Amino acid sequence: MRILLAHNSTYYPGSGGGDKSNRLLMEALAARGHTVRVVARIERFGDAGHKKFVADLLARGVQGEEIEPGAVRFSRNGVEALTLTRDSHWRGFFASHIEAFSPDVIVTSTDDPAQLLFDLAVKSSARVVHLVRATIAVPFGPDSSGLSAERTARLRQADAIVGVSEYVAAYCREHGGLDATHVPISLLESGEPSHVGRFENPYITMANPCAVKGIDIFLGIADRLPEISFAAVPMWGTTAADRAELARRPNIRILDPVDEIDDLLRVTRVMLVPSVWHEARSRMIVEALSRGVPVVASGLGGIREAMMGVDYVLPVKPVERYRPAVDEHMVPVAVVPPQDVSPWVEVVRLLATDRDHWNELSARSRAAALGYLAQLSVEPFEALLLGLTQKPKKGVAATPAGDDRKKLLALMLKQKQPAKPQSNPWLPVTGPAPRLICLPYAGAGSMSYRKWEVGLTVAPVLLPARETRLAEPPVTSMPDLVQHLVTALASLWGEPYAIYGHSMGAVIGFELIRQLRRRGMRLPAALLVSGARAPQFRRGWAPPPELSQDDFIAELRRLEGVPPKILDNPELLKLALPALMADARLYRTYTYTEDSPLETPIFAYGGNRDPNVTVAHVESWREQTTGQFTCRIFDGGHFFIESQREEFLAALSADLRAAGLFR
């Protein structure tokens, strides 16, 4: 694809979270083989701004080329960036590059609240994807700083609206009537983040101290704790008056923004995010947690998602209105209610003085973030873009793709089988029918199945207490879980589907089908189960006592009940244990009840070296259907689905074809 980003600020070097997120998103798409161009601008046009911009690039080892009067071109990590510097003909500059580049997709965002670039994008032949990174910048709803029915209506011309968090996507649907979805668009650098969090780090830090970010709370904490050292990093929202207030405090040090976040976090003991507006998500929170730096944040907007169930989330009084004015940075002036800083003072004092508590919270913070980052990918966003290029543009007749582009798209779709992201937390991604609904083994999330290619849409189910649902309590009763699934996946039951489950997931799938049958609902074309004893082995089952944590981990190792990549990583294991133990409780207390066999065909798979599930256990699934039954045994242990993935997925695909789901 040819992808054009409309970036209404400095793309690089840019210190804002949205700037960095857009940059990493574009670089990830370029790394996937797409042609990516960015059209950007500097904050203040003119000769001085131009010279500073070129110097800033050179200081970072980037050579800029002046391609036309007042525009600089450079390339970074596979992305071509064109930045307007001298002249203010911004719309004309962007329009000329739409014509010259002829993009398949134009990506716009809320860094253009006046829709100067969005308006040009929707008038082009390209599909338009609008990223909502801040609800203050949308023209609707209670978070907005400027309501406009006209601009809200214009947003409906976008081919897709993508929220940076589930909170933002839901806000757009509820208050703007927009068909918004959430997929990851705030990526982090590749590789495991450095572990720079230390109790010895000198500062309690706040980035971008300003009114909406909670500078009053930050100043109040510093005033109440004069013996503690604080640091502030002025950024896009910090006014001259804010700087003056910071400078008046002897225990606050003002630091310059940094290109490398590690440079800031290695001097940070605790990161404060006391926002009083409804944050869309907060990149800083994830950056800090992933490096073992505890975060103390408010709970507004998408912040709870970013905190991933880790302490501390504290109360604030949110901004309720904005004055009809902007400050020196063209940011709407918020009316901030008086705040009670007492809870903040107590938590900061605790984290600044109690080493043991700090160490425990640091470890939990990093483990949660690493678990999240392990499944973070540009692929869902890429799939969304590819899907749009296969559909007519809103309000414009579809333009047939060239033969070469059609071949490329067909190849990528065949390789990826991309799924269309949804907002249902139980179903993070799905796509068109027919679908293979995949239920997890103990402790697993949706990522275990997302890269499977079986010839139809893979729809992995995400249970509570893992991945993006880490903060939710687990479900520990099989009947309760099945009832939840019947309701949560209701939109899928009317179209062709099959159900697959590994280990615990196999029994969940079996009981789910029995419940659907009781309700007279459409049944799947097939039940596919792996690594699981037939459910009748739980006939008359008396649950044994719950194991201690150490014995539980030892049992997991003995039975090969969890992939080695989790068992051998202490941080990931610590993160996964709550869900693992909850799932073990769910399966340990499961008792089979008699009912007539299913008519649904069953395909059962096992490993010939599974220490807990024998070939006889797998073959006994035959008793649970009056329809077709097929049993396949693979070389391997409990996780033969990983060690023999290619062979297993080929068999799975063949059996789905035999069940009549596709030709």
Residue 519: pLDDT over 60: yes
Confidence at residue 561, expressed as pLDDT on a 0 to 100 scale: 55
Residue 402: pLDDT over 60: no
Residue 292: pLDDT over 50: yes
Residue 503 is among the residues annotated as catalytic for this protein: yes
Confidence of residue 434 (pLDDT cuts 50, 70, 90): very high
Do strands 230-233 and 65-68 pair parallel, antiparallel, or not at all (unpaired)? unpaired
Query: 337 is written with which tokens?
Result: 């209610």
Confidence at residue 28, expressed as pLDDT on a 0 to 100 scale: 93
- Give the model confidence (pLDDT) of 103-135 as tens digits: 999 999 998 888 989 999 999 999 999 999 989
Confidence at residue 582, expressed as pLDDT on a 0 to 100 scale: 85
Q: Which phi and psi (to 5°) does residue 297 adopt?
A: -135, 160
Residue that wins the pLDDT comparison between 419 and 157: 157
Confidence of residue 564 (pLDDT cuts 50, 70, 90): low
**How confident is the model over 276-284, as a mean pLDDT?**
88
| pTM across the whole model | 0.59
Whether 203-373 and 2-182 are alike in CATH topology: the answer is yes
H or E, element range at 407: helix 403-416
The Cα–Cα gap between 475 and 101 comes to 51
| Strand, coil or helix: 188 | coil
The Cα–Cα gap between 52 and 379 comes to 36
How many C-beta atoms surround the C-beta of residue 168 within 10 A? 29
Active-site hit among 275, 448, 503, 530: 503
Which residue ranges make up each domain of the chain?
A: 2-182, 203-373, 424-658
- For domain 424-658, the CATH superfamily is Alpha/Beta hydrolase fold, catalytic domain (3.40.50.1820)
Residue 76: pLDDT over 50: yes
Q: What share of the chain in percent tops pLDDT 90?
A: 59
CATH architecture of 2-182: 3-Layer(aba) Sandwich (3.40)
Average pLDDT in the chain? 88
**How confident is the model over 543-562, as a mean pLDDT?**
75
Contacts of 654 (CB under 8 A, 6+ apart): none
Do strands 35-41 and 2-6 pair parallel, antiparallel, or not at all (unpaired)? parallel
Confidence of residue 365 (pLDDT cuts 50, 70, 90): very high
Confidence at residue 563, expressed as pLDDT on a 0 to 100 scale: 64
Closest CA to 228 of 195, 201, 263: 201
CATH of region 203-373, choose from 1.10.3720.10, 3.30.70.270, 3.40.50.1820, 3.40.50.2000: 3.40.50.2000
How many C-beta atoms surround the C-beta of residue 629 within 10 A? 15
The Cα–Cα gap between 492 and 432 comes to 10
